[in-house]
Structure 1
Amino acid sequence: MFRTPSRIAGTPVRVPLLLTLLSAGVAWPQAPAPSSAPATSSRTVQLTLAQAIKTALDQNPRVHQSLLAIAESGDDRRSAAAALMPSVAAQAFGQRNKYNLNAQMGMTVPGFPPEVGPYNWSHMGLEAQVSLFDLSLWKKWRASQHAEDSARAQGRAVREEIAAIVVGQYLRALRATASVQASESRVELAEALAKLAENQQKQGVGTKLDTLRSQVQLQAERQRLIQAQTQRTTALAGLGRALDLEPGTRIELTDSLAAPAMPIAGFQETFQASLAQRPELAVLDAREKAASNMREAAQGLRLPTLVATGSYGSTGLQSLPSTTTYQISVGLKVPLFTGGLVSAQIARAQSEQSRVQEARREVRAQVGFEIQVAQAELDAASHEVEVANLAVTLSTEALSQARHRFEAGVSNNIEVINAQDELAKANDNQISALYRLNQSRADLARATGQLESFFAR
């Protein structure tokens, strides 16, 4: 997006190098990169915007926390599914028994001993149970599926938020870098003009006042360069913090500040696409489905449940052959009174549905507002870039004309100084317009829920 400058209304959109604007004068060498403050780490990383986003999404703690939330929701879904599956258990036990037969029967039986035992017996086998019909369990499982979908959508929302932070910080760093480059060119230009004023004075064409004016202008441009370098340093430090890089890591941006690809869709088309893409709406959709299933699960508590159980094993007395035994049973449970449990759970699920519906209305309205604002700012910024490009062209021509007049001795360098100031303002306006254009494009991508996919590809 940033590597190749594009055109707006047929005008190349780029930060001009001032050294090429005055070809009639002395050809100056390219300025070396300004020295920055000593870093505490010798590591240097080169980053495109896509690489910066990927780095942030790989390392950000909030992204990792969202992954843990997704994993936990998956565990809840599997737990709900386990209630619908058969449960099988192996069992083995032995007993040594002695009974008072009279006490067990509640009477004395002639011919029977008063005591039985002691004797030993054992049993080994399998026991299984399965729910044949339980609507409540089934709906709870469906609700857990939607809860997992909600966690995944929430994870996408977190990724979009982190990507928005990185994009904004990267664009600010690009703007600061472009300002440094423009300031470096203006300093070189001011140095050349100061040298020209000095030569004009020596030749008797110029005055000491012209030389002083050019020196003052040179110092002003150097001060602007220092300010631009400081802004670049702080912007890169903020980018490193957003990427969770080691403090002191030097960052080199490989993208440049240029006009992005402009969208062609209108508001309605963009708005409808946003409703399908925004992760916040996906979260609410999943929550509403989960609440609906929980309401149906609560209603299912009023329905009968059917459970089948069975056991198969081997039982026998000690020192005697064992006998194969089994038992199969089917049980029907009909709830008659639940103490208000069902109505309470239904009311809670309905309240959740109502909250989700109100939240959806708010999010839909917010999405529409964000799209309208982003499109308006994008349109305005594109026109600002056109105006700024023209202003740079005109101020460059004015500076060239003022210099030629000063060289010819038909005027002093007041016109040159004024032209320098106008060109500096035009450069700053062009950089600011390009920054606003890119930020507006990022805001529109964020509003449509496609920020990561648009910038990280």
Structure 2
Amino acid sequence: MCLLLVLCGSLSVAAHAQGSAGDLPSAPTPHTLTTNFPGGVTVEQATPSALPLSLDDAIDRGVQHNLEMELARQNQRIVHGQVLTVANNLLPSVTAEAFTETQMINLAALGFKPSLIAKFGLDPATFPTIIRLDTTGAQLNLNQQLFNVPAYYLYRSAQKAESAASLTTRNSEGTVVLKVGTQYLLALADASQIENAQALEKADELVLQQATASHDAGVGTNLDVLRARVQLQTQQQTVINAENTFAKDKIALNRLIGLPAEQELTLTDKTPYSEFAELPLDQAKALAYTRRKDLLSLQAQMEVAQRAEKAVKYERLPTLSFDGHYGVLGETHGLYHGIFSATGSLKVPIFQEGQLRGEREVADAQVSALHQQITSLQVTIEQQIRSAMLDVQSSAQLVKVARSNVDLATEELQQASDRFQAGVSDNLPVVQAEAGLADAQSKLVQTLYQYNQSKLMLARNTGVVETQYKVYLGR
């Protein structure tokens, strides 16, 4: 019973085609180098060149190398080993042993008196009281449980515990897919911010050139030049900050997928965007109740506890077992003779009521606690699905508004630039329009990231992120 409690404790620790390049050979893909250290530890080393990484590659690497997955797999191995230990209680146990021994026995110390043999007509003086015995033997020992109901239910409980451990591992896989996917999308958003910032930086350089040319021609003011230079330097700061954020987020991505921090990455995917078909709430809940690994794991743990409760209930029944051995025994270098024993044991618990009641109360409490956890998780699942659906709907609308704002800000900047080039106004409207466009582009990138991240979260909340993340992202 103690082993089953350990078993339950182990359980609780607990989702592009490439264009043809004619007949030219494709460029070789760099592989991550590894270095083997004594003790079997393998440490990956950074490649000299950047490593191409798609979203699928990142998720595959995360599932294989993320520490959370490694711990889940090791926990599953622990549970499997404990299941084998429980199963052994129902299997016959056969052991073989061989022994040889030498004994020096003092018969007088054991109460033997040589005078006693005189009654049988033997001379006591010829009978030694200290003798030496050399014996050798070999035998097979057998032990078999013939009737043990608690052991049977413990075995059935352990079988279900292994299923629960497997579900816990798959639940960890969904968590890793969500984390890696979210981090990859965040890195893509950082890359888009850099592209937008660099494009605006080039536009600011052009505005500065125009303002300088107008000033040199005597038709512009020095204020226009200063204003354009300040705007350019401000945009340069934005580029530097965006590049720094991108570099740090790639380091975080490396950490999630088991790559060294210094490994350079080339993100081969682009930010995905596709409108998500609305999923009815009832269908989403039904899907989650059958696919959420955390819920299925709790339900499996409930069966583990219920079977353990039956094992405790039947501990009052007698147990029947068989023990025996067969072998040979005799003097070393002498004669040997066969020996055997066969013992049937019937054990009936009598004065163990306190222990049996205590174990029954513990088992009942475990079942009750798991039932409450399952009920609470079902309510939580509905709450999570509703929240995720609201996030998907609102972020989809925000993306549409943000796209419209970018179009309008681009048109405003074009008109302001045309007016400045024609000499109708100074470059203040141009600077203001560029700031508006930068803000609109930044918000578009953020809303696209929020939209994709909310779809991944919805997939996670319905329990299908590890298998259907492509469908939810529209890839």
**TM-score if structure 2 supplies the norm length?**
0.77
Q: Take 2:442 and 2:333, find their aligned partners in 1: how far apart are those partners?
A: 101
Q: Take 1:456 and 1:425, find their aligned partners in 2: how far apart are those partners?
A: 30
Tell me what 1:359 maps to: 373
Deviation at 1:325, TM superposition (A): 5.3
Q: Retained in 1: the 8 A contact 2:298–2:374?
A: yes
Q: Counterpart of 2:266 in 1: which secondary structure?
A: strand
Higher relative contact order (CA 8 A, sep 6+): 1
Q: Is 1:267 aligned to residue 281 of structure 2?
A: yes
Q: Retained in 2: the 8 A contact 1:139–1:294?
A: yes
Which 10-residue stretch deviates more, 214-223 or 311-320? 311-320
RMSD: 3.5
Deviation at 1:375, TM superposition (A): 0.9
Tell me what 2:73 maps to: 67
Deviation at 1:324, TM superposition (A): 4.9
Q: Counterpart of 2:75 in 1: which secondary structure?
A: helix
Tell me what 1:219 maps to: 233
Q: Take 1:112 and 1:86, find their aligned partners in 2: how far apart are those partners?
A: 52
Q: Retained in 2: the 8 A contact 1:48–1:253?
A: yes
Tell me what 1:52 maps to: 58
Cα offsets for 1:335-365 (capped at 9, x unmatched): 3332422111111111111111122222222
Equivalent residues in 2 for 1:64-103, closer than 5 Å? 64-92=70-98
Q: Give the number of equivalent residue pairs.
A: 420
Q: Structure 2: which amino acid aligns with 1:137?
A: A
Cα 1:148–1:363 shift into 2, 3 Å: same
Cα 1:179–1:318 shift into 2, 3 Å: closer
Q: Take 1:423 and 1:137, find their aligned partners in 2: how far apart are those partners?
A: 72
Q: Retained in 2: the 8 A contact 1:370–1:447?
A: yes
Q: Counterpart of 1:245 in 2: which secondary structure?
A: coil
Deviation at 1:231, TM superposition (A): 1.9
Q: Take 2:296 and 2:128, find their aligned partners in 1: how far apart are those partners?
A: 70
Q: Is 1:332 aligned to residue 346 of structure 2?
A: yes
Q: Take 2:100 and 2:408, find their aligned partners in 1: how far apart are those partners?
A: 102
Cα 1:320–1:238 shift into 2, 3 Å: closer
Q: Retained in 1: the 8 A contact 2:287–2:463?
A: no
Tell me what 2:248 maps to: 234
Q: Take 2:171 and 2:334, find their aligned partners in 1: how far apart are those partners?
A: 69
Q: Take 2:398 and 2:302, find their aligned partners in 1: how far apart are those partners?
A: 44
Deviation at 1:159, TM superposition (A): 3.0
Deviation at 1:110, TM superposition (A): 7.0
Q: Structure 1: which amino acid aligns with 2:316?
A: R
Q: Take 1:318 and 1:405, find their aligned partners in 2: how far apart are those partners?
A: 116
Cα 1:317–1:430 shift into 2, 3 Å: closer
Q: Take 2:249 and 2:17, find their aligned partners in 1: how far apart are those partners?
A: 20
Cα offsets for 1:5-62 (capped at 9, x unmatched): xxxxxxxxxxxxxxxxxxxxxxxxxxxxxxxxxxx99553222222223323333333
Unmatched 5+ residue regions in structure 1? Answer: 5-39
Q: Counterpart of 2:155 in 1: which secondary structure?
A: helix
Structure 2 residue aligned with 1:344, among 358, 381, 397?
358
Q: Retained in 2: the 8 A contact 1:41–1:248?
A: no
Tell me what 1:443 maps to: 457
Deviation at 1:435, TM superposition (A): 1.1
Which 10-residue stretch deviates more, 417-426 or 127-136? 417-426
Q: Retained in 2: the 8 A contact 1:120–1:317?
A: yes
Q: Is 1:416 aligned to residue 436 of structure 2?
A: no
Unmatched 5+ residue regions in structure 2? Answer: 1-14, 19-45
Q: Take 1:315 and 1:209, find their aligned partners in 2: how far apart are those partners?
A: 113
Tell me what 2:319 maps to: 305
Which 10-residue stretch deviates more, 153-162 or 68-77? 153-162
Tell me what 1:289 maps to: 303
Q: Retained in 1: the 8 A contact 2:186–2:249?
A: yes
Deviation at 1:455, TM superposition (A): 4.2
Q: Counterpart of 1:90 in 2: which secondary structure?
A: strand
Q: Counterpart of 2:386 in 1: which secondary structure?
A: helix
Cα offsets for 1:208-256 (capped at 9, x unmatched): 4444433333233222222222222222233233334323322222222
